[in-house]
Amino acid sequence: MILYYTDLYEFPLPPGHRFPLQKFRWVRELLVKDGTWAFAPAPPADAAVIELAHDRDYVRQFLEGRLPREAMRRIGFPWSEALVRRTLASVGGTLAAARDALAAGFGGSLAGGTHHACHAQGAGFCVFNDIAVAIHWARTEAAIRRAAVVDLDVHQGDGTALIFHGDPAVLTISVHGQNNFPFHKQQSDVDVELADGCGDEEYLQALAPLWRQVRAFAPDILFYQAGVDAQAGDRFGRLALTQDGLKRRDRLVLETCREAGIPVAVILGGGYGARLQDTAEAHANTYRVAWELFGTTPEIRNRKSR
């Protein structure tokens, strides 16, 4: 089984920039040492596929370096050709993970989770919404009927919520900090807002009622945004989960998918720890839990027929 990585595509950032570019390489290196997963570079997504979810002019302006300065400021990165390559690979990794999930029950990307990007603009370190692109691709090319998004990044998946608002074939769930970015929230199908300082037990209790809704919706694929910025000590998180709490969270999500026969694509998501080593370890733990559940089984047990 393969995890797709993008850390070979680095892009220039000004000194002191808050985006933790090095964590992506560190996560892969930790998992390589485990000797379990296979790895492959994420293939770049085609612009035509990205345009299934995004405004064509916006896509072309970004790819060609013609976005207005204010639009790039909202995204939070300086434009460069290297950023374009990395962005296309990030979306491509999620597409590849979705293909693997639909074929064998599980797929994973060591990037992605750019959930603040809307139809015609980016924001918050997010250029294109990789999950939205993958859902539109799966509807078009894989003929799926329903998709679910379980977004456990500490920041609301506002772009995803907005893109799929009112779409009965996509279930959007976001569990996030009430007082955190974005400060103007969108409306997901299910929003669970948590107070500052929320710890392991309170967090896990908040997740428990969600799985009945996921099972009742019976998605053909579920995208798990597995951000670890709810971890205590995260610079932008404001919650207080431990490494063990995050692992329990991951196991809850992935066991639910496995037992229900729901193909799952896992996306890296956010993590900005004051000690970036802790963030990398938490991300790696997500895929360690996934290996325990899926790594030795070529296909989800009890996979429902389609």
Instruction: State the catalytic residues.
Output: 116
Instruction: Classify burial at 179, counting beta carbons within 10 Å of its beta carbon; exposed 0-12, middle 13-18, buried 19 or more.
Output: exposed
Place of tokens 């047990």: 301
- C-alpha 191/C-alpha 156 separation (Å) is 8
Helix (H) or strand (E) holding 4: strand 2-5
- C-alpha 95/C-alpha 43 separation (Å) is 9
- C-alpha 88/C-alpha 73 separation (Å) is 19
Q: Which two tokens stand for residue 209?
A: 């009622």
Phi, psi for 14 (deg, rounded to 5): -70, 155
Query: Long-range CB contacts (< 8 A, 24+ apart) of 119-122?
Result: 119/53, 119/54, 119/55, 119/58, 119/162, 119/163, 120/54, 120/55, 120/57, 120/58, 121/58, 121/71, 121/74, 122/62, 122/71, 122/74, 122/75
